[in-house]
Chains A and B, each alone.
Chain A
């Protein structure tokens, strides 16, 4: 019969047993499966077509190009001529950090080439992702809880929370660059002489701070929407039952907000893995703040086919992360009805 999806329905005792929260059932599936399939096709068609055109086509063309060699210089004419097929050489070069040697073979990439930066860029990207998403989730949750409360001036707080995200990235990046300049306001305010963009860890934290400031509103907004779906009666009932605030948070808020939270974290993670604007403008990728996207852009200027290979590798990395996320962290984002429910979590 009805399969359960989502959190266990909470019946509010006070309102006479009317369930206010319910998992959707597969309504009349046995009878209407065929027409549902056709319905679904029509409803999904615009989405699929939009995505196929703008994103799938470039991905396919990039993958095709990644199997070509970059143009080489013909020593006689001094002009670039199209390289031939490269097979998987581009991929191997990136993963093994190999570069072309003058005598025709490959050699370990010396410092100062893009090829030698693949693994450090991957590590940096993961560092940024994990740290920024962690901070943004915690801060975003806290802000969402505050925004959901009743107090005077809360509309001001709600508007203020969106300001960091509403300012275009172009301005935000320059603003933080300005703030973190050696003679900028950050050093002045805290009476420090930190070389924010000039040494490794200050630069990394500068990027983290700027990104957390800018993107926490995204998390806060999604989590707030999730919080709004929890009816007040549930909390009332729990208070009557004598629970502490922490228990209410743990047993009511967290489980009920989990769907929205998971969507927020998943998408934020995907975005963070592709981080580009902020580190590029703040530090130019110096001092070990080069992310994979920055590496791609730099490589595009040196040879497009190799850049296509790197983009595909990045794509695969991100895919693996998303896969692990969905599979093992129980994000109910790709579940179908009848699949593993989330009862235990």
Chain B
């Protein structure tokens, strides 16, 4: 009959106490308005900092940090390594920034998150006292780090889509999409698939779909950041993919492809053309199971009447507004984007540098023979939509492009739905 009397009040008190303590520390949700005062703080402070980045596959960051630490005894850099999953990296940064933590001073930010983080007031604007020199950097990379006219991050590495082709079957790579589709008869003769990119429903599909739309002369967003998909060019671009899939020029299984699956298909000789990132170059040339070791070439993506517009990849480096030692952070950012470091990224890690001059550097071209092709690709690259609503925008693109390619809806309907979804995302809450 006796209720556990003190239990209920005790539990309630406990919960209240916790709620109050947590509320004080900044409960969830985004409140970017306070960016002003945070951005002004600690601009001259120096001291130890932490650099956070995703997995350092090619071992380029650790040696650089060691080098910095040797030269800066009082401003040591600690490396916090995340996983190699973009989603996890994004969420990890969001958790820390949302809680206004000062434990991440310099963060490696994917090109597509920069606008989102900037709009939430988490990134230090790199202007006035914190300005850096971007004149030597490829324009597309700077564009991806700029939001509302202000630079919020320093471009560090880049990436562009490349067309891999079987040079034993096709001596001269196609320059336009129609030309490439015309060569599909060669694929049929050899009983292999013609073309594949990444068409599974994930970020890679946004990359491929944007490339298709941009290469045909259309664009996802217009200059004001509003969606602009109901155009003939966008329709032509997406139609290219849908038609190729329906005709079988894009093999049916390509709808499940991510980077690795498509690489595997090309590498085992099952594809004539492949759109992928440059990272596959070393794997295709050296892996034991590769059937195309000396048989493949690399070219710029085919466009409407010339090189196509590849989607820009790569990473920018940003300073957190909550950092306590921003002067050190800025110097570290400048160090990471210096010419010497950029060269190191290329030689050690096969990562594309952001400094245009390096693409014609003899030493680098010797190491990475595809550098000139990559330069063309990046020079013609169009960043994926630079918008603070990127997660919603990429979902709108993915869902509808996926349905369009599979033939579940017409290209017009897909584009119109894409348009409406992006409008709805930008409408606020």
- The interface of chain A, by Cβ under 8 A from chain B, is 33-34, 36-38, 40-41, 44-45, 48-49, 52-53, 56-57, 60-61, 64-65, 68-73, 77-83, 86, 99-102, 104, 107, 109-115, 181-183, 193, 195-198, 284-287, 298, 300-306, 308
Contact = CB atoms under 8 A, between A and B. Distances in A.
A195 B14 contact: no
Contacts, number: 196
Contacts of A110: 417, 420-421, 424
A104 B423 CA distance: 11
A254 B333 CA distance: 68
Nearest to B23: A61
B421 A100 contact: no
A79 B32 contact: yes
Interface string B12-46: 00110011001000011111110100000000000
A78 B147 contact: yes
Interface of B: 1-7, 10-11, 14-15, 18-19, 22, 27-33, 35, 90-91, 94, 118-121, 147-148, 200-202, 252-253, 255-256, 261, 264-265, 268, 388-389, 391-392, 395-400, 402-403, 417-418, 420-421, 423-429
A81 B33 contact: yes
A304 B265 contact: no
A181 B424 CA distance: 35
A314 B212 CA distance: 38
A102 B2 contact: no
Contacts of B6: 41
Q: Chain A interface mostly helix, strand, loop or mixed?
A: mixed
A195 B253 contact: yes
The 7 lowest CB-CB distance pairs between A and B, nearest first, are: A37-B2, A41-B4, A72-B428, A112-B421, A286-B201, A110-B420, A112-B396
B253 A198 contact: yes
Given A82-B30, A182-B256, A111 B417 contact: yes
A70 B427 contact: no
A102 B427 CA distance: 5
Given A78-B119, A81-B32, 4 more contacts: A49-B11, A69-B429, A80-B388, A107-B420
Contact of B119 (A80, A109, A115): A80
Contact of A112 (B94, B121, B417, B427): B417
Given A112-B395, A114-B395, A181-B261, A79 B121 contact: yes
Contacts of A109: 421, 424
Given A102-B423, A102-B427, A71 B201 contact: no
A193 B399 CA distance: 24
A304 B18 contact: no
B208 to A, nearest CB: 15
Contacts of A115: 424
A72 B10 CA distance: 39
Contacts of B29: 65, 68, 70-71, 82, 304-305
A183 B265 contact: yes
A63 B400 CA distance: 32
